[in-house]
Structure 1
């Protein structure tokens, strides 16, 4: 078949990584085609009116970790297209006894809040905060946007400084052990574990294993944290697409890649469903491992060790039950009498007050059961960003962790849906009494059954497209170069893995430019140089 057109590069998937990768390479003068199976673009950067007109709900990504400080946000000039809101209060945890623990961006304020529960814990936090802030800025964030060093090289470079050595030691600690060793108050322990985890339920892979990433320090820093894209998360996708098109990139939607064409061990392009063939010097996939290698490439073109790794790629053992609400007024927590700031936080831990309850929830999810005790991450974004709801009205969300296949059946979520919604709302009312039926104007539940149909790369409901275990992160990640010449990976299976980071697209651009002999117009982040400066 005669190819329709030829390109320097074809990028599969118009999510965050594909848009960032395409923007860098198009601006470098390459002829780049970005392909997207769906009608729209943005992947997990999704903001939609699913309850009532004018109420904007972020169905996937909500809280973006320090995005406005990333190198790609700066390089691509995105501040001219998008504003990020940095809330003063990042985390809040209301308690059934009427108290609340709130973390501020301010050290003195946070320490004072902790001291209301334990003076000793407040002093411990102050001591660790000093180390954590330096480790975050000088190590964690630098490695986040650089091609990882090998395990041996990294240990050698970090081991040359006191700060690096302390960081390496911290990566070997299990978060649950560390929190139990350092703190005495149960409320303090639980909020620290929530800060390290996601969505209000801390699972065993977070609690009981160290991580070479060093994410444990995130329990202690305050300066670097989560931000909110004004108007909704999709505005980041919009800004990136505008940047890609302005740089000369070409976007084609409703273009499902059926096959990555390999000839003589080298990629020559892609074939779309329907038979259209597109030629390119390189192909970069930003979709999941299984779809890329098992479906698009095919086992016949893979070395045995790569095929085995694809087959053994692990996924997170949980999925999300999302409840999105249109409200007359935002949740008003009873604990506001204890600390008024509890009503103005970005992220909430609702219903998890003991480590025992967290462990029980994990055991139930692992046994393919819905947790009997509703405990969830929550937020009311319109309090911080009024543009996400009509004037005087509000939105809120709750994310409860559930199994992908309750009782072994992926369709069982339909029978559990109404009961889950009511258990979440009933639990929410025990902390925020105004979360009554007359305050709720509309509701929408969004589960793995829906989002795996819309975003097929979230296989088994895995929003990260790969479990964040130590054998799949940092120097063990699935990218960027592959065993097939001309084929690259630059998605969430690559360092720095899932969630909205943009890191894989940013790092992948430097890798591809170097292989093609293209001089980068940007200054790539060099892990060895950055970490060597610690000495």
Structure 2
């Protein structure tokens, strides 16, 4: 084998986690190869011109939660390569009666908006916001970028302080139950749940089960929130790739990994679909979904029975996203902006749902394999906040609607419903933003799991998170960075902190691999044991 085909480590998949993992370990001085099946890198960090030239649409990742304050954004020097916009108005909800709720990062503005519906709810939010801001900064974000502690040790450390004990108590409650208990106005409750549940797509998880992560507090904090990558989400991938290459990393695209080579019970490299063999002297790391990694690339016969039981028990989300992307002459102008002029400036909108029951009905439909009978969706017009995402004076907008993977039992029905569902979404949107006329809409592109599960084959059955975010698959119950095969690591969204754009799995796994190789990391990895021990009542 030629020495050029031999590396210290091979990382499979050039999405967020692979790029971050590669950036750290290449800068550590290791010879790292990043291999990617597709021509393009970035995975869900995808920005494309799908309607008309100059209109940039974020087909997967739209905005990123507190990215510029993550440890890896700072460590990898990304502020010099990537710019972010922080919206003042993050969540908004127009109503059919012409009223609207708007959540600002400014507490007083948010309280004033809530008070127009119920003054008691505003005062309750003031109290809970103070708790949530502290818990987010001192617990939630610290655990997000640390290898999870075992349940007993975590409980013991958090139990040493009042804030830790309160946080633990909240993790054991159902978020929907808490919201229902605390607030009075139905529409206030709906927007809190919308904020908590990522466009309503995981509402049943939000309402029906507890979350050991403590995600409930996300309904109440304001300071920490979503940011918008200037020019489109792919620019984050570009910045990460630039940092990886500058550190000496090697990248090969159009390189589909056929199998992970196992010799003597250890992972020693990869074999590509074109027959090439690439050797890894010290490790192989996969950022792919668990079944593609272990069944397709390893093979069940090389894995222990206990691990196969865990693999067979791994669950994916039971819904997919139906995306409608618009090129517009002018941005959506909501009728309810007369009630609150800040409505048109928000990052995310809950459109078409004003009761908890309507949200639940939609999810009941999806669980039964039906397209929801009531049209309701998350939406946004990113070009209002970032003009670089559209030609001068023009705009882009998108809507995400939850639908099943196989409507009425047949996955091909996603194609059959495209036209009618796209039309229904635009018509419903127009009820709230009357200027979304046919003349205003210059182009339309519909993107569903029928397409994206083929483009990004990690997203099995349309699961954008690559694994259900239920309590039995998060924190210490995540799928694990180390695997039964020595030298083989898992660094994708099945591991803590799980799906969505966080970079957490790549960041955490970089520290584990460095330590396993006996290296002294050039950065200071976060340690949950140390971070949580700082919580005191003094």
Q: Give the TM-score taking structure 1 as reference length.
A: 0.99
Q: 2:24 is matched with which residue?
A: 24
Q: Secondary structure at the match of 2:278?
A: strand
User: Which whole-Å CA distance do the structure 1 matches of 2:477 and 2:322 have between them?
Assistant: 30
Q: 1:215 is matched with which residue?
A: 215
The alignment status of 1:175 with 2:186, answered yes or no, reads no
Is the contact made by 2:453 and 2:461 (CA closer than 8 Å) also made in structure 1? yes
User: Which whole-Å CA distance do the structure 2 matches of 1:308 and 1:423 have between them?
Assistant: 43
User: Which whole-Å CA distance do the structure 2 matches of 1:84 and 1:402 have between them?
Assistant: 31
Q: 1:294 is matched with which residue?
A: 295
User: Which whole-Å CA distance do the structure 1 matches of 2:82 and 2:250 have between them?
Assistant: 22
User: Which whole-Å CA distance do the structure 2 matches of 1:336 and 1:265 have between them?
Assistant: 63
Q: 2:317 is matched with which residue?
A: 316
Q: 1:150 is matched with which residue?
A: 150
Q: 1:258 is matched with which residue?
A: 258
Is the contact made by 1:374 and 1:423 (CA closer than 8 Å) also made in structure 2? yes
What are the residue-to-residue correspondences of 1:89-488 with 2, within 5 Å? Answer: 89-280=89-280, 281-488=282-489
Q: Secondary structure at the match of 2:149?
A: coil
Q: Secondary structure at the match of 2:97?
A: coil
Deviation at 1:4, TM superposition (A): 6.3
Q: Secondary structure at the match of 2:122?
A: helix
Cα deviation per residue 1:271-312 (whole Å; 9 max; x = unaligned)? 111221111121000010000001001101111011121122
User: Which whole-Å CA distance do the structure 1 matches of 2:204 and 2:527 have between them?
Assistant: 33
Is the contact made by 2:37 and 2:257 (CA closer than 8 Å) also made in structure 1? yes
Is the contact made by 2:193 and 2:200 (CA closer than 8 Å) also made in structure 1? no
Unaligned runs of 5+ in 2: none
Q: Secondary structure at the match of 2:101?
A: strand
Deviation at 1:226, TM superposition (A): 0.2
Is the contact made by 1:200 and 1:375 (CA closer than 8 Å) also made in structure 2? no
Q: 1:42 is matched with which residue?
A: 42
Is the contact made by 1:3 and 1:279 (CA closer than 8 Å) also made in structure 2? no
Q: 1:86 is matched with which residue?
A: 86
User: Which whole-Å CA distance do the structure 2 matches of 1:484 and 1:214 have between them?
Assistant: 32
Is the contact made by 1:201 and 1:376 (CA closer than 8 Å) also made in structure 2? no
The alignment status of 1:527 with 2:521, answered yes or no, reads no
Unaligned runs of 5+ in 1: none
Q: Secondary structure at the match of 2:464?
A: coil
Q: Secondary structure at the match of 1:438?
A: coil
Q: Secondary structure at the match of 1:410?
A: coil
User: Which whole-Å CA distance do the structure 1 matches of 2:370 and 2:439 have between them?
Assistant: 31
Cα deviation per residue 1:337-384 (whole Å; 9 max; x = unaligned)? 100100000000000100010110011000110001110000000000
Q: 1:500 is matched with which residue?
A: 501
Q: Secondary structure at the match of 2:444?
A: strand
Deviation at 1:415, TM superposition (A): 1.3
Could you tell which deviates more after superposition, 238-247 or 477-486?
A: 477-486
Q: Secondary structure at the match of 1:166?
A: helix
Q: Secondary structure at the match of 2:347?
A: strand
User: Which whole-Å CA distance do the structure 2 matches of 1:226 and 1:203 have between them?
Assistant: 19
Instruction: Note closer, same or farther for the CA distance 1:460–1:201 as it changes in structure 2 (3 Å cut).
Output: closer
Cα deviation per residue 1:408-439 (whole Å; 9 max; x = unaligned)? 11110111111101110111011100011111
Question: After TM superposition, which residue ranges in structure 1, 4 or more long, deviate above 6 angstroms?
Answer: 1-4
Q: Give the TM-score taking structure 2 as reference length.
A: 0.98
Is the contact made by 1:3 and 1:276 (CA closer than 8 Å) also made in structure 2? no
User: Which whole-Å CA distance do the structure 1 matches of 2:504 and 2:152 have between them?
Assistant: 22
Cα deviation per residue 1:197-218 (whole Å; 9 max; x = unaligned)? 1224453122111111000000
User: Which whole-Å CA distance do the structure 1 matches of 2:529 and 2:2 have between them?
Assistant: 45
Q: 2:519 is matched with which residue?
A: 518
Cα deviation per residue 1:250-290 (whole Å; 9 max; x = unaligned)? 00001111111112221111111122111112100001000
User: Which whole-Å CA distance do the structure 2 matches of 1:265 and 1:295 have between them?
Assistant: 17
User: Which whole-Å CA distance do the structure 2 matches of 1:310 and 1:155 have between them?
Assistant: 27
Cα deviation per residue 1:450-483 (whole Å; 9 max; x = unaligned)? 0011000100000000000011100011121111
Q: Secondary structure at the match of 1:62?
A: coil
User: Which whole-Å CA distance do the structure 2 matches of 1:300 and 1:393 have between them?
Assistant: 56
User: Which whole-Å CA distance do the structure 1 matches of 2:155 and 2:304 have between them?
Assistant: 30
User: Which whole-Å CA distance do the structure 2 matches of 1:459 and 1:201 have between them?
Assistant: 17
Is the contact made by 1:3 and 1:278 (CA closer than 8 Å) also made in structure 2? no
Q: Secondary structure at the match of 1:24?
A: helix
Is the contact made by 2:351 and 2:378 (CA closer than 8 Å) also made in structure 1? yes
Is the contact made by 1:458 and 1:464 (CA closer than 8 Å) also made in structure 2? yes
| Number of residue pairs aligned between Structure 1 and Structure 2 | 535
Is the contact made by 2:201 and 2:319 (CA closer than 8 Å) also made in structure 1? no
Q: Secondary structure at the match of 2:423?
A: helix
User: Which whole-Å CA distance do the structure 2 matches of 1:199 and 1:110 have between them?
Assistant: 19
